Structure 1
Amino acid sequence: MYRETITDIFFDLDHTLWDFERNSALTFEKILVDHHISIGLDDFLQVYVPANLEFWKMYREERITKEELRYQRLKTVFDKLHYRVSDSVINQMSVDYIENLSNFNHLFPNTLPVLEYLSSSYRLHIITNGFEEVQNRKLKNSGIERFFDQVINSEMAGVKKPNPYIFQLALNRAGVEAQTSLMIGDNLEADIQGAMAVGYHALHFNAHNEPLHEHCKMIHDLIEIKSFL
């Protein structure tokens, strides 16, 4: 349905191509041991995963800083689990998490064949709210950096998705118009509604089993992209 109109495809990275939850779990499996934290990984993640999503929402909405995000998402877990950890250990774990996260590079199923397929006919780009130094390492270490022309991150833009400026910046950097551009991402608010407000077409990768909606088409496996492009 997009074959006749689309020239450029913009992807989100985390939760869309790069399997954030799986790689994050493997990272915590390592650093909990390194810091001698005697909390089971499953117990830790049960609290951390929703807390992290909530703090990222606050970060997108400019209600907390990057430093507050990194500290509070860990502090919240230890407080809820009634596990005493000093601020110095939390701060070091925050650093170690960022340092180790891009060493684990599982991609969502069908990421590579879909990128190979698309790259022969379209220009591909990234728009991410993630931190620049971490996102660049993820792209490089996972072996998908070569597919992307422009990589736009929120630190570069000075704003975060769904702010229209980051989507307009991406168009300007790519030298393309919104009406010939497609955004593919997992977050309805940040990726889909944000891009559509600027005039992009959009395709929602439903990585979180969200309910159906009428904003745009939805897919549950990246291989489904081939039926649209």
Structure 2
Amino acid sequence: MPPQPESSLHFVRPTVVLLDLDDTLFDHANTARATLTVSTAGIPEFQGVDLEALYQQYSEILEEMHPQVLAGRYSYEEARRLRFQRLLAPYGLGTTDAEAEQFAHRHYGYYQRLRRAVPGALPLLKALKPHHRIGIVTNNRTSEQKEKLVQLGMAHLVDALITSEDVGVTKPNPRIYQVALECLHCSPAEAVMVGDNWLADVVGALEAGIRPVWLNRFGGTRALTHVDEITSLEPLAEVLLKITGPVSLPAGENAASPTKNNFQ
């Protein structure tokens, strides 16, 4: 990990809110868990298997291979087949390309159908939309990320989708953030970045001069104490206060001032 820059940024009410997509707005982790449960059901080799341990194996393989896909070393189809060959091998499955591809195809179909939003994500976007321009900054394929936004009912709330595929670099490279700022016609000081990945979303934003808010859903350790942290996208009033400062909420939402300024 590169050195993590200290920030001298002060709170400025943003005009633009940038957000990561996977595991910030789209709940990849729990979608993947649900998908593994469904895709292994009825397969004798997986009877008695700890599905949480299987998910951890799946995640480790994905984390290892995803950067290689983004760098163009593998096509998405090749990488998907290789991932499942590695995942299935300890269970005596996926020994041929055809078998691995068949499982991968079935698994991905379930994954598409089971997609879900992070709790609070849609209300957050709806609350931000009247007051801010919204950009998604994501390390993934453009077509897949567009598909997720449509399926989750978020596409009409997003002003710009900035992907590593389109820009040609991945977060934390500051260039992808600079492109986002150009698309949304704002300066770094006018933006805030919300994301779950410390290196990509927090360090990347800081290096681009953007104030980050770390969505720490999984109990990580905050390496820089001055970086704002939230552990959930709920309750809405507290999350908005941390991201943007006081704003008007949609009718029916609780706008009471939160009693805590940091979620530890």
Name the TM-score, length of structure 1 as normaliser. 0.86
The CA deviation string for residues 10-39 of structure 1, in whole angstroms up to 9 with x for no partner, is: 1001111111011122333344459x5742
DSSP-derived class of the 1:102 partner: helix
Q: 1:227: which partner in 2?
A: 241
Q: Quote the offset at 1:100 in angstroms.
A: 4.0
How many residue pairs get matched? 225
Q: 2:178: which partner in 1?
A: 168
The CA deviation string for residues 123-143 of structure 1, in whole angstroms up to 9 with x for no partner, is: 111011122222111110111
Q: 2:125: which partner in 1?
A: 115
1:212 and 2:226 correspond: no
Aligned partner of 1:50: which letter?
A: E
Moved over 4 A (4+): 57-60
Residues 1:97 and 1:176: Cα distance change in structure 2 (over 3 Å): farther
Aligned partner of 1:222: which letter?
A: L
Q: Quote the offset at 1:196 in angstroms.
A: 1.2
Residues 1:26 and 1:221: Cα distance change in structure 2 (over 3 Å): same
Q: 1:88: which partner in 2?
A: 98
Question: Residues 137-216 of structure 1 correspond to what in structure 2 (within 5 A)?
Answer: 137-214=147-224, 216=227
Q: 2:28: which partner in 1?
A: 20
Aligned partner of 2:16: which letter?
A: D
Aligned partner of 1:147: which letter?
A: L
DSSP-derived class of the 1:222 partner: coil
Q: Quote the offset at 1:64 in angstroms.
A: 4.2
Q: Quote the offset at 1:57 in angstroms.
A: 4.9
Residues 1:134 and 1:99: Cα distance change in structure 2 (over 3 Å): farther
Aligned partner of 2:227: which letter?
A: C
DSSP-derived class of the 2:93 partner: coil
DSSP-derived class of the 2:176 partner: helix
Residues 1:100 and 1:106: Cα distance change in structure 2 (over 3 Å): same
Residues 1:13 and 1:212: Cα distance change in structure 2 (over 3 Å): same
Aligned partner of 1:225: which letter?
A: V
Structure 1, unaligned runs of 5 or more: none
Name the TM-score, length of structure 2 as normaliser. 0.76
Residues 1:63 and 1:218: Cα distance change in structure 2 (over 3 Å): farther
Q: Taking every aligned residue pair, what percent have the same amino acid on both sides?
A: 25
Aligned partner of 2:19: which letter?
A: F
The CA deviation string for residues 165-191 of structure 1, in whole angstroms up to 9 with x for no partner, is: 211111111121111111100001111
DSSP-derived class of the 2:162 partner: strand
Say if 1:102 and 1:137, in contact at 8 Å, map to a contact too: no
Say if 1:162 and 1:191, in contact at 8 Å, map to a contact too: yes
State the superposition RMSD in angstroms.
2.4
Residues 1:5 and 1:53: Cα distance change in structure 2 (over 3 Å): same
Structure 2, unaligned runs of 5 or more: 1-9, 245-264
Aligned partner of 1:211: which letter?
A: T
Residues 1:112 and 1:87: Cα distance change in structure 2 (over 3 Å): same
Residues 1:131 and 1:163: Cα distance change in structure 2 (over 3 Å): same
Structure number with greater Rg is 2
Say if 1:102 and 1:134, in contact at 8 Å, map to a contact too: no
Q: 1:6: which partner in 2?
A: 14
Q: 2:64: which partner in 1?
A: 54
Aligned partner of 2:231: which letter?
A: H
More helix by percentage: 1
